[in-house]
Amino acid sequence: MISDPTPELLQALASVPTSQFLITTAFGDVRDGRIVERVQPCGTQPAMLLIAMEKGHTLSPLIRDSRTFAISLLDPNERMLQRVFGPDRRIGDDPFLTYPHQRGVLGAPIVTRATAWFDCEVVRHLDMETNFELYIGLVRSAGLGTAPAHRLNAALHATRAPDARANRSRPVIDRTPVAESPVERPSSALPIRNGARVR
């Protein structure tokens, strides 16, 4: 029998470097994506990537049926992705209707404002006895996105500091509304004359 992880074990696991990636796939007319943190190269000849993703996501059957997925390394300053692909999105909505993307050679959608992307064919799927499942993808195509080039290095090293990892296990998701309503805007007490506020 496997015992529950101790706080020390969880803190040690949280110290392993991670970054933010978007995994996407498509099968038939259905396409979807989600943000993941656990992506590692696991081969160079040929190039392969290993992705650990929590079980039970609607993306899993799409990857199983299409045998493909794309991985995009996210620009840490691209907050719109959190809104489009974050947990607050309604299941069934097509997130790519509102976000720029291109179709990969294997059919998976690839966001163009990433810093780098990989189009992969699934060669292994491992259903582990834990809350994560593993996908190993053979990289069929790769490239750089349209995010500024200087952000690529920042994205590759966008890991949480060790002291911050102990306090939170997931990145903070920006839930700021896309546009504030007139009621929410702060108003000024200064009078307006001829279209300008008088001081």
Q: Please say if the pLDDT value at position 92 is more than 90.
A: no
Q: Please say if the pLDDT value at position 186 is more than 60.
A: no
pLDDT score at 179: 39
Model pTM?
0.68
Query: Where in the chain are the domains?
Result: 13-161
| Topology annotation, domain 13-161 | Pnp Oxidase; Chain A (2.30.110)
State pLDDT tens for residues 97-117: 777 788 988 999 998 888 899
Locate the DSSP E strands across 2-84: 21-27, 30-36, 38-44, 47-54, 68-73
pLDDT score at 100: 78
Could you tell me which residue, 131 or 161, shows the higher pLDDT? 131
Among 74-88, 155-169, 171-185, the least confident range: 171-185
Split at pLDDT 50, 70, 90, the class of 49 is very high
Burial of residue 126 (number of CB atoms within 10 Å: 0-12, 13-18, 19+): exposed
Q: Please say if the pLDDT value at position 190 is more than 70.
A: no
Q: In this structure, which amino acid lies at residue 83?
A: R
